Chain A
Amino acid sequence: GMPVEQNPPALSLYEGADSGLRCNFSTTMKSVQWFQQNHRGRLITLFYLAQGTKENGRLKSTFNSKERYSTLHIKDAQLEDSGTYFCAADSGGSNYKLTFGKGTLLTVTP
């Protein structure tokens, strides 16, 4: 299967709602990053995780290398959270090379 499987492909939320995105990995990954792609097309790094959980404001991400998954949880969704979210994982080795999921298109509406 795909090295990085990301779900859901699309997600619609009302303002104030909570939800989560998930990436499953076909092999053991060394680290994961989560990006948000804004309406101008630029990818912005949200999190880098080698293990465990990190929080930043209304966002929280978890990476479990052994269980081969990572999650991104969005709390109290706001209109500006709309965009496409990508997880990307590094399988290790001498070069830092990321394999991306297909993305989740998040639409937040009033």
Chain B
Amino acid sequence: GGIITQTPKFLIGQEGQKLTLKCQQNFNHDTMYWYRQDSGKGLRLIYYSITENDLQKGDLSEGYDASREKKSSFSLTVTSAQKNEMAVFLCASSKNSDYTFGSGTRLLVI
């Protein structure tokens, strides 16, 4: 078995701040994803990466950067946090259709 770990679990930021979320997996999965979950809107893809050092934009990439420094880790940066923003960021990894999610990072911007 493996595990996918997101840190931090909770993140409180200030308006305009640059915030970084981290994700690690030990499944040896090639592809990793960052999704944003807002209430009533489902999950929307921000960035994904099919291998180390690869980055692909999703539907919601504006305002975010991502980095796949090594196969096991994928980080997401909110480049300028928006006031009153509240969302859950979910990381996932996959090999073909075998898809595993992390438990999420809950972001609140004050």
- A56 interface hit (Cβ, 8 Å): no
Closest to A2 in B: B42
CB distance from B92 to the nearest CB of A (A): 8
Chain B: residues with Cβ within 8 Å of the partner, total of 26
- Give Cα A42–Cα B106 distance, bound, in whole angstroms: 12
Q: Are B103 and A42 in contact (CB under 8 A)?
A: yes
Q: Are B42 and A96 in contact (CB under 8 A)?
A: no
Q: Are A103 and B42 in contact (CB under 8 A)?
A: yes
> What's the count of A-B pairs with C-beta under 8 Å?
53
Chain A residue numbers with a CB within 8 Å of B40 are 9, 102
Chain A interface size range: 20 to 34
Q: B71-110 vs A: 1/0 string, CB under 8 Å?
A: 0000000000000000010101010110111111010000
Chain A residue numbers with a CB within 8 Å of B90 are 41, 43
- Chain A residues in contact with chain B, CB under 8 A? 6, 9, 31, 33, 35, 40-45, 48, 86, 88, 90, 95-103
The 7 closest A-B pairs by CB, nearest first: A102-B42, A43-B101, A100-B43, A42-B103, A100-B42, A41-B104, A48-B97
